[in-house]
Amino acid sequence: MVLVIAHRGFSGKYPENTMLAFRKAIEIGAGGIELDVHATSDGHIVVMHDGDVRRTTNGSGLISKMTLGEFQKLDAGQGEHPPLLEDVIVLCKEHGTFLNIEIKALGIQERVARLVMKHDYVGNVLISSFMHPQLPKFKTYEPNFKIAALIPDVAAKMIMKIISKLIPVDAINPHYKSISNDFMAAARARKYSIYAWTVDDVGEFKKLASMGVAGVITNRPDLMIGAEIG
């Protein structure tokens, strides 16, 4: 079974990276959630995609220059305030939901790792990042952390070969358009799990499922759940 991972929660219908979007994803049966994390000026790990709050809230400015109090006052739409990572870990633990944490800021690994470890949830978490050198540290805090190299929509197979020589990752998270049968064969040979993003089309989902990806990251978990069969 391909794991359906709700990208920024059920962001196709609810404000991205909010508790509402995460709860709704779980409610409709998504097996996993993907979110993005940053740190506030007073060191709290919070959930938002951009480093600047302008696109997704009523405020403006960098998260790294705001206190947690200032950050949590922001309006993220539909009565939501942007959440702390810890709140999402607790929610996921309550429901046994897989959690893909994407690292968007530098130097926050230890704080992220400690939060996951505090709630004894390492086994159900995948840490990913486009900033690959940020990843290996997680294994020094707890060897069971699974880490994934995110790769953009370019020459995925070549990049995977380079990464395999540099960083001992467990998974590769490529843009879905860069996945071919050839790419999947190369990934299998290296024993990587493949999580494709961002797949919002059922036809694409079925194709990727038949190619053997471990999971897809989607804004529309409602369309993907159950689509593999039939």
Q: Which residues here bind ligand G3P, judged by CB under 6 A?
A: 7, 34, 36, 49, 102, 128, 150, 173, 197-198, 217
Among residues 124 and 198, whose Cβ is nearest to Mg ion?
198
Q: Is residue 7 among the annotated active site residues? A: yes
Among residues 109 and 173, whose Cβ is nearest to ligand G3P?
173
Among residues 102 and 222, whose Cβ is nearest to ligand G3P?
102
Q: Is residue 38 among the annotated active site residues? A: no
The C-alpha angle 92, 90, 38, rounded to 5 degrees, equals 90
Place of tokens 């690994």: 109
Among residues 80 and 102, whose Cβ is nearest to Mg ion?
102
Least distance in angstroms from the C-beta of 173 to ligand G3P:
6
Collapsed DSSP state (helix, strand, coil) of residue 119: coil
Q: Which residue in the shown chain puts its C-beta closest to Mg ion?
A: 102
In the window 20-39, what residues touch Mg ion (CB under 5 A)? 36
Question: What CA dihedral angle connects 82, 87, 91 and 93, to 10 degrees?
Answer: 140
One of 49, 81, 95, 175 is an active-site residue; which one? 49
Contact criterion met (CB below 8 Å) for 41 and 65? yes
What are the two backbone dihedrals, phi and then psi, of residue 191, each rounded to the nearest 5 degrees? 60, 35
Residue 80 contacts Mg ion per CB under 5 A: no
Residue 16 contacts Mg ion per CB under 5 A: no
* # residues near Mg ion by CB under 5 A: 2
Q: Which residues contact 55 (CB under 8 A, 6 or more apart)?
A: 49
Q: Which residue in the shown chain puts its C-beta closest to ligand G3P?
A: 197
Residue 222 contacts Mg ion per CB under 5 A: no
**What gap in Å lies between CA 204 and CA 208, rounded to an integer?**
6
Least distance in angstroms from the C-beta of 83 to Mg ion:
15
* Contacted by 16, from ligand G3P, Mg ion, none: CB < 5 to 8 Å by type: none
Burial class (CB in 10 A: 0-12, 13-18, 19+), 101: buried
One of 7, 38, 44, 132 is an active-site residue; which one? 7
Residue 102 contacts Mg ion per CB under 5 A: yes
Among residues 17 and 186, whose Cβ is nearest to Mg ion?
17
Helices (H), the chain: 19-27, 68-73, 85-95, 109-118, 137-141, 156-166, 181-189, 202-211, 221-224
What positions carry a catalytic annotation? 7, 49
Residues that bind Mg ion (CB under 5 A): 36, 102
